[in-house]
Amino acid sequence: MMAAKKAITSEVSLIPDSDTIARPRLTKLIIKNFRTIGSEPVVVDLDNIVVLVGANNTGKSSILRAYEVAMNTGSSAGKLTIDDFPNGKVLSESLPEVEIHTIISENKPGHQWICDIGNGEMLIRERWIWSNPDTEPKRQGFNIENNDWSDAVPWGAPNVAKAYRPKPHRIDAFALPEKQAEEISKLITDVIKDKLKTIKSDNTSDKTDYDLLIEKIKAFQSSVASAVTSEVKNVEDSISEYLTKIFNNYVIKLDVRPEDNVEKTYSPFKESPVMRMGPSEGYLSTISAQGSGARRTLLWTALKYISEHSQDPSERPHVLLIDEPEICLHPSAIRDARKVLYDLPKMNNWQVMVTTHSPIFIDLSYDNTTIILISREFTYHAGNRLNDKALLFCGFAW
């Protein structure tokens, strides 16, 4: 009997081949059955700056968390806990669901995924559904030809799609000092890593040094997998032979397939970079050992640096998800913090989504800003959004 051939998933980059074509951008986030958000979905228009306002415990932080987990599928940050499910229960009729809309300007993923919304722009819809805690979600694409969701997806493998979406950086309001230190360190090192990925030793090559390195790692993984196949079989058979004498018919199987996400196998830095702070001639202690005010000041200093230093537009974009940025800030520093947040998107490589109780962080003079009032009864948007008629044609009723 012939062995069935493994299905091949085509992989298509989100990034256009031509610099004259606009990069894909995320434009809408739809959430339901997630934490305090029930079966009535919350719809959030994603602009350069999104400010979520409203009373406590209405789901503002849940929106930030939902975006984070959808963009981090394939890692521990993309898995939910039982507390993320409605009422802490797994019910098949009310599973957590996050839907994301992406605007593109070229037909790379395939016509079945694309809805023309005019002005040279096209809409693609994807969603993630979690069936159990601590498991990967199911990712689906909306097939406009069938007018229904499909287990097939645009852009193919999730790591290919994720690699070019805005990378989330979550700054929680009341995280433990160790977690805050980790978030700040990661924010800075991720920007450095993205810069390193653009280095070219050979300017005549189409590929960066990082691209060439990843290709070599993939080739090495493939050769290793072929070389160890027989040895793995010997180990399985030998151990199973001993095991079955004690536990009848028990065997072992070793899954030694190469890591699908090759980028996990290499990093230019140590796994958990340590950042220290203190007097220039004195003792430098870890960030987690600093006071709340010092940690938040360092955060804003890092963000200010990022906002003032332009990045290569070919780098992966970022999105900052920050809870209550006014916390631990002196009143005189809040306006400076707001300026930093509104300066980030001017680099064309950052989006910002923020929850706040401070009206100072609402700047209606900035064109690409969406203000969203979140309450238990309704969600109100103040800002630009897609044409309603176009959305109806895409199988989505506003």
CA distances from 101 to 56, 268, 306 (A): 27, 33, 27
pLDDT digits (tens, 9 = 90+) for 86-137: 889 999 999 999 998 888 877 667 788 888 888 888 888 999 999 999 888 8
Helix (H, G, I), strand (E, B) or coil at 149: strand
Share of the chain above pLDDT 70, in %: 80
Q: What angle do CA 79, 84, 89 make, to 5 degrees?
A: 115
pLDDT digits (tens, 9 = 90+) for 80-90: 899 999 889 99
- What percent of the residues of the chain are helix, what percent strand, and what percent coil, each to the nearest 5? 35, 20, 45
Euclidean distance between the first and the last CA atom of the chain, given in angstroms as a whole number: 52
Per-residue DSSP letters for 17-67?
SSTTSPPPEEEEEEEESBTTB-SS-EEEE--SEEEEE-STTSSHHHHHHHH
Query: So what's the pLDDT on residue 142?
Result: 93
pLDDT digits (tens, 9 = 90+) for 180-215: 888 888 788 877 877 787 888 888 888 888 888 888
Residue type, 48: N
Closest CA to 178 of 294, 321, 286: 286
- Determine if the pTM surpasses 0.85: no
Question: What's the CA gap between 370 and 364, in Å, rounded?
Answer: 9
Contact 96, 193 (CB under 8 A): no
Q: Which residues contact 37 (CB under 8 A, 6 or more apart)?
A: 31, 59, 62, 63, 66
Q: Hey, what are 239's tokens?
A: 């151990």
Query: So what's the pLDDT on residue 312?
Result: 58
Residue type, 301: T
Q: Which stretches of the chain score pLDDT less than 50?
A: 1-13, 384-398
CA distances from 217 to 43, 201, 214, 263, 326 (A): 41, 18, 5, 9, 44
Ordered structural domains, the chain, with CATH: 25-166+317-393 (3.40.50.300)
Query: So what's the pLDDT on residue 396?
Result: 43
Contact 98, 41 (CB under 8 A): no
Q: Hey, what are 112's tokens?
A: 């079945």
Query: So what's the pLDDT on residue 107?
Result: 65
Query: So what's the pLDDT on residue 165?
Result: 65
How many of the other CB atoms lie within 10 Å of CB of 301?
12
Contact 171, 120 (CB under 8 A): no
Query: So what's the pLDDT on residue 276?
Result: 87
Residue type, 239: I
